[in-house]
Amino acid sequence: MIFRINFSYLGKLWLFAIVLFVAKLIILPYVHQIDADAVSRVYLSLQFAENPHLIQSGNWPPVFFYIMGSALKLCNNQFYTPVFVNIVFSVLLLFPLFFILNRLFEQKISFLLCVFFSFSPIVFRMSMLAMSEISFLFFLLLSIAVLLKGLSENKNNMVLLAGIIMSIASGIRYESWFISFLIFVLIAYYKTPKKAFLFAVFAAVIPIYWLLSNYFYADNALNSFGWAINLPETNSINSLDSLLRRIWWYPLSLMFAFGPIAFYFFVKELRYYKSTIEKRIIAVVFILFFIIWLFNSLRGSLLLQHRFGLILFVISFPFLGFYLQRYSNKMILKTAIFSITAFLLAFVYSSQSARPIPRLLTKDASEVSQIINKNINADSGFICDFWNWETTYYLPFATGINQKNIEIIESSDDAISIKSQINTFVVNNKSGVILIAYNKAMYSLISQNMNQMFVNTSDFSLTLTELYRNNEVACYKYKVSDKNIDSSLRSE
C-alpha cells in the first residue's frame, strides 16, 4: 500500500514534469533575452565553448560557464541552447524538491507544492532566461535532499556526497556559500559536529579554490566581490523615495513570487511558527536571510531585482504546505487558485521583471530589432548606444553576430570615452549599423555637412544613412569615411 501511494504521487510528478517541459519548449521561441546579465552570461559561455579552459578569476563563479559552455559546444545556438538547459534543470529540480517536502508533509501536499512552485512567476521567468538561478536551485535542492537522507539514515557517504553537490551549487552562485555555513551550524547543533565537519569540508572545495585562484591570478582573493564592495559608493540612498523603495522591494518580490492570494495565507501561517521544530527552523532561516537581504538593500550592495528574492521564496514557501496541512479541505482547488492567480496576475503588475514570460515591452523595440537584423550580416559591426536596460543588450544579442562585432555603449560613458571606443572598434568593423539614443552622450558626436550626417571621433568619421527614428532613438547604417575627408568635422 505504501509503495503504491509513493508510486502514485511520484508518477503524477513525472507526468506533470513532462507536460511542463513540453509547455516551456512551446513557449521558448517567443522568449526574448532581455536581461543584461543573461546576455553577458551567454557570451562568456560562448567564449568557454570556443576555448575550453580552467576559469581562474572573474565576477561570477565558474561552474555555470562550464555547464552552459559545454552545452553550447554540443549545440552552438546562443538563442535556444542556454534556455533549453535551464528548462531541463527547472523540471529536474522538482524531484529533489518533492523528496525534501515529503519529509515535512504527506505526499499529496508535497506534489501540490511542487506544482505551485513551478507556476511561481519568478521561478518560471528564471527558467526561460539564460541565468544562473535555476541551475543553482537544482544543485542546492539536490544537496539538501541527499543530506536529509544521509542524516536520517546515518550514512556518512551521503553527507559527503551532499557536500560535494553543495560545492557545485557554490560554483554557480554565491548564496550557497552562506547557505553551506548555515547548514554546517544546523547539523552541528541538531546532529553531530563530525557530520557537520564532513559536510562542510567537501562543500568548501570550490569556494576555497575560487578564492585562491582569484588571489593568484587577480592578486585579490576577494576580486569577485569587488563590484559588490564598491557598489554602495555609486548606489547610495539619495531620497526618501529611494529609502522606502529599498525597504519594500524584497517583501514585494516575495509577494510577486507567491502571488497575492497565496502570499496572504503564507503571512497568516507565519503566526504559528513556534508550533513545531521544523517550522521554527524554517522561520529562523527565512528571517535571517530576510534581514541580510534588507541590510544589503539599504546599504546599496544588493540591486533591486526580483530574481534576488527567489531564495527568500524557496525558503519560505513550505509555510504554504503547513497551511494546507492545517486546512486540508479542497487542497487541489486551493493550489489551482494559488498557482493561476500568481502566474496570471504577474502580467498585470507594473513591475515587468516579475512577468513569467520575458518579452520586450519597450515601444518600437521589436521593430527596431527587425530593421537592424535586415541590415546586418556576419561581417557587419553593430554599435549600440544605451537605450534602456531591456533593449541595450537584447538588440545586439538578437542579431546573432559574433561578440567581437558588437560594441555596447554604457549609460555612464561620456563623449570622450565613446570616441575612444568607436575609434578602436571601427578599425576592424568598417561598416554596419549604429543605434543612437537622443538623450545620451553619443548623440553629441553627430554632425551634418552637405546633407550628410556623421559621427565624428578623433581618428574616424562615420557616414550615416538613416534606417529608422522615433522620439527616443535613431538607427543608421554606418560606413567609415576616409580620415582626410572634411577634417574640420573631426576637430572636436
247 shares a domain with 125: yes
Residue 456: is its pLDDT beyond 90? no
Q: What number of other Cβ atoms are within 10 A of residue 455's Cβ?
A: 25
Q: Would you state the pLDDT for residue 27? A: 97
Residues whose CB is less than 8 angstroms from the CB of residue 50 and which lie 6 or more positions away in sequence, other chains included: none
Q: Would you state the pLDDT for residue 121? A: 96
376 shares a domain with 343: no
Residue 487: is its pLDDT beyond 80? no
Residue 230: is its pLDDT beyond 90? no
Question: Which secondary structure element, helix H or strand E, spans residue 59, and what is its range?
Answer: none
Axis crossing angle, helix 81-92 with helix 63-74, rounded to the nearest 10:
120
In a domain, 184, yes or no: no
In a domain, 397, yes or no: yes
Lowest mean pLDDT among 148-152, 161-165, 367-371, 481-485: 481-485
230 shares a domain with 88: yes
Axis crossing angle, helix 260-270 with helix 331-345, rounded to the nearest 10:
120
Domain boundary among 296, 331, 354: 354
Mean pLDDT computed over every residue of the chain: 91
Residue 214 C-alpha cell reads as 582569484
371 touches 467 (CB < 8 A): yes
Q: Would you state the pLDDT for residue 272? A: 87
The Cα 426–Cα 458 span in angstroms is 12
333 shares a domain with 472: no
- What tens digit of pLDDT does each residue of 12-40 get? 999 999 999 999 999 999 999 999 999 99
350 shares a domain with 228: yes
Q: Would you state the pLDDT for residue 488? A: 39
Q: Would you state the pLDDT for residue 357? A: 95
379 shares a domain with 476: yes
427 shares a domain with 286: no
Q: Would you state the pLDDT for residue 450? A: 60
Measure the CA angle with vertex 198, ends 192 and 201; round to 5°.
Answer: 135
In a domain, 75, yes or no: yes
123 touches 110 (CB < 8 A): no
Closest C-alpha to 400, from 30, 66, 36, 46: 46
Can you name the residues that pair with 433 across neighbouring β-strands? 382, 477
Q: Would you state the pLDDT for residue 236? A: 79
Can you name the residues that pair with 139 across neighbouring β-strands? none
- What tens digit of pLDDT does each residue of 299-348 get? 888 888 999 999 999 999 999 999 999 998 999 999 999 999 999 999 99
Pairwise pLDDT comparison (116 vs 412), residue with the higher score: 116
In a domain, 295, yes or no: yes
126 shares a domain with 99: yes
443 shares a domain with 340: no
What's the mean pLDDT in 104-110? Answer: 95
Domain boundary among 354, 376, 393: 354
The 8-class DSSP code of residue 378 comes to T
- What tens digit of pLDDT does each residue of 395-443 get? 999 999 999 999 999 988 888 899 989 989 998 999 999 999 998 888 8
Q: What number of other Cβ atoms are within 10 A of residue 248's Cβ?
A: 11
Closest C-alpha to 183, from 171, 157, 165: 165
Q: What is the domain extent for residue 439? A: 365-490
230 shares a domain with 87: yes
Phi, psi of 462 (to 5 degrees): -100, 120
In a domain, 183, yes or no: no
Q: Would you state the pLDDT for residue 7? A: 63
DSSP per-residue letters across 212-223: HHHHHHHS-TTG
Domain boundary among 354, 383, 410: 354
Residues whose CB is less than 8 angstroms from the CB of residue 345 and which lie 6 or more positions away in sequence, other chains included: 259, 260
283 touches 312 (CB < 8 A): no
Q: Would you state the pLDDT for residue 483? A: 56
340 shares a domain with 387: no
307 touches 130 (CB < 8 A): no
Phi, psi of 384 (to 5 degrees): -115, 110
Global pTM value: 0.92
In a domain, 100, yes or no: yes
CA distances in angstroms from 306 to 82, 84, 249, 256, 416, listed in the order given? 21, 22, 8, 8, 35
Residue 486: is its pLDDT beyond 70? no
Residue 116: is its pLDDT beyond 90? yes
The Cα 290–Cα 295 span in angstroms is 8
In a domain, 197, yes or no: no
The Cα 92–Cα 153 span in angstroms is 24
38 shares a domain with 105: yes
Number of structural domains the chain divides into: 2
Q: Would you state the pLDDT for residue 460? A: 80
The Cα 459–Cα 69 span in angstroms is 37
At 353, the pLDDT band (50, 70, 90 cuts) reads confident
Q: Would you state the pLDDT for residue 482? A: 64
In a domain, 394, yes or no: yes
**Size (the chain), residues:** 492
The Cα 125–Cα 86 span in angstroms is 11
